[in-house]
A and B are shown apart, each in its own frame.
Chain A
Amino acid sequence: MDFFIDRIWIKYYNIFSNTKYIVIRGVLMNEVSKQLKKGVIEILVLKLLSLNEMYGYQIIQLLDEKSNGTFKMKEGTLYPILYRLEDSKLIESYWESGTEKRGVPRKYYRITSDGISQLGDMQREWDIMVQSINSVLNMEG
């Protein structure tokens, strides 16, 4: 992974699905922030699913709770991420029919073996990135 903030280019790999270059400058910051958010949520969703099989609403609730309200995800954010992960075969889904108590069917997502391995890679890369950012931010003049 290359991470040269002083050269205003960031190149990052799997965390954000595809290799991308993003210019960190005024007007493009919003786009960067969105992409970062997407990438981070992908890791978090994979992490949650590595702990248990979950349905969409459950993921939203748990993420909100565990991040102390930092990641309040909307449906329009979560489901496209789940679709991307599913299309990449990192997770898979199945429908569980409704019970007497709960009339409606529920769609559960679970992590695949590829997903577990990908999560490991992502976590390692995340650690490196955080360390790199901190080492730059903590520089003293």
Chain B
Amino acid sequence: MSTTIKAYVDSVLEHIAADSKMKNRIEKDLTSHINEICSEGDLVEITNKMGSPEEVAKEFMENIYDSKEEIIDRLIEERAMNADKMKKYFEYKSKIMMLGLPLIHIKFTRGYGRRIAVAKGIIAIGDISIGALSIGGIALGGICIGGGAFGLISLGGLALGLLALGGVAIGGMALGGCALGLGAIGGAAFGKIAYGGFAKGVVAIGGRAAGNYVISGIDLGGGYYSLGYVSKQEIAELIRAAYPNIYEWVIKLFTAFGV
């Protein structure tokens, strides 16, 4: 379809107050109609003859509706819809409450330069979200997912939590590009027990590892290191040597990376 025809039809539709079904109908018919006439003449001449998009829209409006009252009703409806779009926030709050909080609260800022929206609920989703399950630009609470996630279990670009997973993960157990924690697994891992490309900790296992109990890789030259073959048993023994009373699940977590 010619872009000029599309632009003309789009402009007509912009001036019509009607529901989307009707607009869709008009769009298809008007496009086909103009294409049909175009086989007989120049597009500019044709659209000039048809009239400006405003005039064509007016003609449609006069004939879509049976009376002025119907047109007014539709215009009022569109005005209300536009007013809704102009609202500063999109917000949904479920009617069900738990512990004085809505079960679900969703709140986002519309447009730029407005105050950040904060959603608070058992399940909270928003620019900033606070909740048992929290999803947002900044998420705070129990299970948190977000650009910045701060909670018991956190997933995010920057994740802080008892269990943290993210680009930068800081927590009791941290997994990420850069991981800092009691237990840390990542590209660069720092912790009591650290496992990673670069690992630094009391127990350190990595391509390059530094610590008191260490399994370090082989220098391949040119700044490259390889951890090479490390058995699960070796990792488990190393951790137990440093922390004899450590929980078995912690060992299982770290040995999952061994061969």
Contacts and interface: CB of A to CB of B under 8 A. Distances in A.
A106 B36 CA distance: 8
Interface string B31-70: 0110111010000000000110000111111111010000
Interface stretch (A43-51, A75-83, A110-118, A120-128): A75-83
A79 B155 CA distance: 55
Nearest to B64: A80
A138 interface: no
A106 B32 contact: yes
Contact of A18 (B36, B63, B66): B66
Contacts of B32: 55-56, 104-107
Contact of B30 (A17, A38, A75): A75
Nearest to B60: A76
Interface stretch (B21-29, B130-138, B249-257): B21-29
Given A83-B25, A107-B28, A74 B59 contact: yes
A76 B59 contact: yes
Given A18-B66, A56-B29, A107-B28, A75 B59 contact: yes
Contacts of A74: 50-51, 56, 59
A42 to B, nearest CB: 11
Given A57-B33, A102-B39, A77 B59 contact: yes
A56 B50 CA distance: 14
A75 B36 contact: no
A34 B30 contact: no
Interface string A89-119: 0000000000000111111000000000000
A75 B56 contact: yes
Given A34-B62, A56-B29, A81-B63, A76 B56 contact: yes
A77 B63 contact: yes
A75 B50 contact: yes
B37 A57 contact: yes
Nearest to A20: B66
A51 to B, nearest CB: 20
Given A107-B28, A107-B29, A80 B36 contact: no
Contacts of B33: 56-57, 75, 79
Nearest to A102: B39
Interface string A35-79: 000100000000000000001110000000000000000111101
Nearest to B49: A74
B77 to A, nearest CB: 18
A38 B29 contact: no
A77 B29 CA distance: 13
B36 A57 contact: yes
A57 to B, nearest CB: 5
A80 B29 contact: no
Given A57-B36, A74-B51, A107-B32, 14 more contacts: A38-B63, A56-B33, A76-B57, A76-B61, A77-B63, A79-B25, A80-B63, A83-B64, A103-B35, A104-B35, A105-B32, A106-B32, A107-B28, A107-B29
24 contacts: A17-B66, A34-B62, A38-B63, A56-B29, A74-B50, A74-B59, A75-B56, A75-B60, A76-B56, A76-B57, A76-B59, A76-B62, A77-B59, A79-B26, A79-B29, A79-B63, A80-B60, A80-B63, A81-B63, A83-B22, A83-B64, A104-B1, A106-B32, A106-B36
